[in-house]
């Protein structure tokens, strides 16, 4: 059961973020792009999920990391005040994390739901909404944990932001090229375990893969996604992928809290 201090911190964070212009900017970006995708689609669930997935993997990880880093950095004095009042570091850190996470998810829901509620061209609306909401929660949770981990590095805010952008650039843009060159250069060797490992250690590639498995969209899969599906199968691959994403979230959160707990504030 959530104690009173933790509940109050989460509530404060959510209210504070709702007042922020970035809350509505994020919702508006989600709304506009989702509307365009849905409007020009044929209404097939697999097509909508695949197209929206590419957009979400572009925006959600980067925004989650930047928002988490900047918000954590700017609230250091408030965190100090809370701890002076006798609130534990664990409550402050967890409350901050959950408050930002719930705010991001709420902003996402406000942006995406109106389109699916009022646009009757789509088939299997409930299925699409469930898939997008489940994986958006996982995506926000993973990259918010990563942002908190980056925030514990004792450097300036500008460098924190630079690290987040670099991380996103490598894992969203360069990663597929890296896998392509590995396959091109070592295709005659049994590299399948290496490729599977590369998929697992990249949350963006992993979420793209398991989302495509839901729609059975083998035609637009990358080599790594196709190999993942071939080796593990659709259902096993989806379950394993979700478990790995949860492990990633817990791992980054655990190590970021460990650093925060040892930090001299």
Confidence of residue 34 (pLDDT cuts 50, 70, 90): confident
Mean pLDDT value of segment 40-56: 71
The answer to whether the beta carbons of residues 9 and 82 sit under 8 Å apart is yes
Q: Structure pTM?
A: 0.88
pLDDT tens digits for range 143-165: 999 999 999 888 788 898 999 99
Q: For residue 218, how far is the Cα from the chain centroid?
A: 23
pLDDT at 247 over 90: yes
Of 27-41, 91-105, 136-150, 227-241, minimum mean pLDDT range: 227-241
264: left (phi over 0), alpha (psi -120 to 50) or beta: beta
Q: Where are the domains positioned within the chain?
A: 4-262
Residue 250: per-residue pLDDT: 94
């Amino acid at each position: 059961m959530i104690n009173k201090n933790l509940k109050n911190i989460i509530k404060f964070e959510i209210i504070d973020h709702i007042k922020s212009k970035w809350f509505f900017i994020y919702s508006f970006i989600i709304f506009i792009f989702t509307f365009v995708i849905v409007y020009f689609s044929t209404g097939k669930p697999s097509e909508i999920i695949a197209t929206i997935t590419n957009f979400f993997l572009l925006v959600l990880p980067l925004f989650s990391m930047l928002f988490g880093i900047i918000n954590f950095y700017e609230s250091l004095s408030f965190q100090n005040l809370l701890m002076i009042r006798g609130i534990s570091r664990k409550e402050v850190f967890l409350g901050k994390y959950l408050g930002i996470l719930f705010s991001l998810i709420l902003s996402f829901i406000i942006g995406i739901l109106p389109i699916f509620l009022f646009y009757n061209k789509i088939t299997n609306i409930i299925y699409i909404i469930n898939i997008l909401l489940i994986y958006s929660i996982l995506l926000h949770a993973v990259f918010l944990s990563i942002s908190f981990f980056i925030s514990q590095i004792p450097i300036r805010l500008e460098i924190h932001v630079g690290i987040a952008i670099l991380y996103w650039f490598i894992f969203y843009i360069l990663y597929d090229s890296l896998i392509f060159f590995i396959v091109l250069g070592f295709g005659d060797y049994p590299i399948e375990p290496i490729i599977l490992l590369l998929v697992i250690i990249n949350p963006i590639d992993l979420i793209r893969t398991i989302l495509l498995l839901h729609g059975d969209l083998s035609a637009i899969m990358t080599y790594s996604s196709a190999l993942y599906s071939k080796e593990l199968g659709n259902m096993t691959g989806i379950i394993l992928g979700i478990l790995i994403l949860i492990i990633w979230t817990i791992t980054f959160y655990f190590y970021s809290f460990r650093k925060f707990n040892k930090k001299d504030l």
